[in-house]
Amino acid sequence: MKKISTRIMDVRLSLAFITLVAFFGAGRANPESAAPLPPGAAAYRNAIQSAYTVMTAAFVDNHLDRSSLYFATDYRQVDPHGHILDKDGSQKKFQSLRDQINTVQSLCTVASMNAEADGIHVEMATHSAGTGTKRVLFFKVSGTFTNDLRVSDVWVDTPDGWRLKSRLMLEDLSVIHSG
């Protein structure tokens, strides 16, 4: 069996952040609970979008320690099947996934960002494509892959800056094209 190379040969990173929904517009999940926009809204938008840029680049470059800096200490992630992971468990899962990848390109799109009582709610989608080898039961499948991920994140302002407090994974669709 061919060993997966962790060295990235040709990685291109494309990041595009698009804020499509106005803060006072119709796209808010629960308009009654929305807090008024705090002063300096552009600053938190920029800080959170910058964090997504760093986190995506960290995944592409296989330096997940950089992305973990943006996770709150009490971070919780819920996958589409209802499984809950804490910060440490999430980082181990991300590393396990990253270890299966040789090359990857990612495009991260912020669809909406809204101030709510418990933090800043962000709807975000990531499309990734690359090459790698995935273990399926007792064999390995090598080839190209695509992954589409849609999440609902909550960011909170802490003394250390904006931190990702929770992630609800709405959709996680991976396809391996063997070859």
The pLDDT value given to residue 5: 29
* Tens digit of pLDDT at every position of the chain (179 positions): 333 222 222 222 222 222 222 222 223 333 334 444 456 678 888 899 999 999 999 988 999 888 889 999 999 999 889 999 999 999 998 888 889 889 999 988 899 999 899 999 999 999 999 999 877 777 788 889 999 999 999 999 999 999 999 999 999 898 888 76
- The domain ranges of the chain are 40-178
Listing DSSP states for 144-174 in one string gives EEEEEEEEEEEEEEETTEEEEEEEEEEEEEE
Is residue 113 within 8 A of residue 94, CB to CB? The reply is no
Closest to 48 in 3D by CA, of 114, 97, 95:
114
Closest to 134 in 3D by CA, of 121, 143, 147, 146:
143
Considering the segment(s) 40-178 as one domain, its CATH architecture is Roll (3.10)
104's enclosing H/E stretch is: strand 101-116
The pLDDT value given to residue 120: 95
Closest to 87 in 3D by CA, of 165, 169, 170:
165
CA distance linking residue 144 with residue 66, whole number of Å: 26
The pLDDT value given to residue 11: 24
For the chain, counts of helices (H) and of strands (E): 3, 6
The pLDDT value given to residue 138: 76
- CA dist 161 → 47, 48, 58, 59, 101 (Å): 8, 10, 18, 21, 31
The pLDDT value given to residue 40: 67
Phi, psi angles (nearest 5°) of residue 38 = -70, 160
The pLDDT value given to residue 54: 92
CA distance linking residue 135 with residue 89, whole number of Å: 20
